[in-house]
């Protein structure tokens, strides 16, 4: 348990005039309690915190959950919480409106009809958006794992190798290097398929002269990495070289501009304006980046629609790209920690165009 996180959450409960808060979203449950399993909830009141799970995790919680009263339910977690009077019967109870299902809320209202159920949004997210030192250490560890995987993966990418083989090797190497799992299904897109920003790996064979985009990440103690590099297999065309250089320069400009005090929208504009100025504006069709932590995509957002202001302790990706239908694509992505007036790039994987 991190008491500072609970203290910050309780201050929010007080401001929102809530008597208790029901945490059901598993990444948030882990953030507050340390629990890494698949079935658990937290009930936070102004003076106590209770963690509930089922019998499968009876032994696991002894090692993971600290500072909470632990209740192992014999029935459903919600029913047990009501039977043991862990939720105030007449109070104002906050719930995570983006994560609790309609049927779950309906059942809770039936179980506690006199409680005032209050939808909340962002109570935990607003705390988790700023990473503490322990979280940044874990993020650095998983980023180092992914950098190592990229270096090893360069020995695999060659003409005649299928995209699926590269993706499978990326997953295998992550596990061998200490990752718990993939952060997401690896993206491997070669040749014309590089114009698909979220292309799934296929049985297509990589051909000489093609660009290959690899987007991958690992998970370590719940924290995620997210790395993208684009490499050339054989001599790339002048068009491919120019496209790569424009994206590389746009990413570097964004990295140089990143720091506390800049908005997500303004930072997106730094990279986007450079790409547009060089004639590729309509081919940059996604946001510049996103927050990273116990989820692969979280706040803050770096996009044309973002209302987020970057603050010290945010961890975000910076990943501009260009995707030309019928030609191919380039994306370059790093994970960075926002510092006061600058950012710290966590990845060490090379970013010059690698020709294999």
* pLDDT tens per residue across all 356 residues of the chain: 588 999 999 999 999 999 999 999 999 999 999 999 999 999 999 999 999 999 999 999 999 999 999 999 988 999 999 999 999 999 999 999 999 999 999 999 999 999 999 999 999 999 999 999 999 999 999 999 999 999 999 999 999 999 999 999 999 999 999 999 999 999 999 999 999 999 999 999 999 999 999 999 999 999 999 999 999 999 999 999 999 999 999 999 999 999 999 999 999 999 999 999 999 999 999 999 999 999 999 999 999 999 999 999 999 999 999 999 999 999 999 999 999 999 999 999 999 999 99
CA 110, chain centre distance (Å): 35
CB 37 within 8 A of CB 222: no
pLDDT value, residue 162: 98
C-alpha distances out from residue 190 to 37, 203, 250, Å: 36, 11, 22
Confidence (pLDDT) at 2:
81
What are the structural domains of the chain?
3-128 (3.40.350.10), 133-345 (3.90.230.10)
Phi, psi dihedral angles at 332 (to 5 degrees):
-130, 130
* Residue 205, pLDDT score: 98
Q: What is the pLDDT, as a whole number, of residue 1? A: 57
| pTM as predicted | 0.95
What's the CA gap between 216 and 331, in Å, rounded? 12
């Amino acid at each position: 348990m991190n008491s500072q996180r609970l203290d910050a959450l309780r201050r929010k409960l007080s401001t929102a005039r809530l008597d208790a808060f029901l945490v059901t979203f598993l990444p948030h449950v882990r953030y507050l309690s340390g629990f890494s399993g698949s079935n658990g909830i937290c009930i936070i009141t102004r003076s106590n915190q209770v963690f509930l799970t089922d019998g499968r995790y009876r032994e696991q919680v002894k090692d993971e959950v600290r500072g909470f009263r632990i209740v192992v339910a014999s029935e459903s977690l919600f029913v047990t919480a009501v039977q043991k009077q862990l939720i105030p019967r007449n109070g104002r109870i906050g719930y995570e409106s983006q994560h609790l299902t309609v049927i779950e809320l309906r059942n809770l209202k039936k179980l506690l009809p006199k409680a005032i159920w209050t939808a909340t949004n962002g109570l935990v997210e607003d705390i988790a958006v700023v990473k503490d030192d322990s979280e940044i250490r874990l993020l650095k560890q998983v980023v180092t794992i992914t950098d190592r995987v990229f270096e090893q993966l360069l020995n695999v990418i060659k003409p005649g190798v299928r995209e699926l083989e590269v993706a499978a090797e990326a997953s295998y190497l992550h596990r061998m290097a200490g990752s718990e799992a993939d952060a997401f299904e690896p993206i491997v897109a070669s040749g014309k398929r590089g114009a698909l920003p979220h292309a799934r790996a296929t049985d297509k064979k990589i051909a000489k002269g093609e660009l290959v985009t690899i987007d991958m990440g690992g998970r370590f103690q719940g924290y995620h990495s997210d790395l993208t590099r684009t490499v050339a297999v054989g001599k790339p065309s002048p068009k491919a070289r120019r496209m790569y250089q424009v994206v590389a320069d746009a990413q570097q400009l964004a990295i140089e501009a990143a720091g506390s005090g800049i908005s997500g929208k303004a930072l997106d504009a730094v990279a986007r304006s450079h790409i547009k100025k060089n004639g590729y504006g309509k081919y940059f069709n996604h946001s510049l980046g996103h927050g990273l932590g116990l989820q692969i995509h979280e706040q803050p957002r770096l996009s044309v629609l973002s209302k987020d202001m970057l603050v010290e302790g945010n961890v975000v990706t910076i990943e501009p790209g260009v995707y030309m239908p019928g030609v191919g694509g380039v994306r370059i992505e790093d994970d960075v920690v926002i510092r006061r007036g600058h950012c710290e790039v966590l990845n060490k994987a090379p970013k010059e165009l690698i020709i294999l």
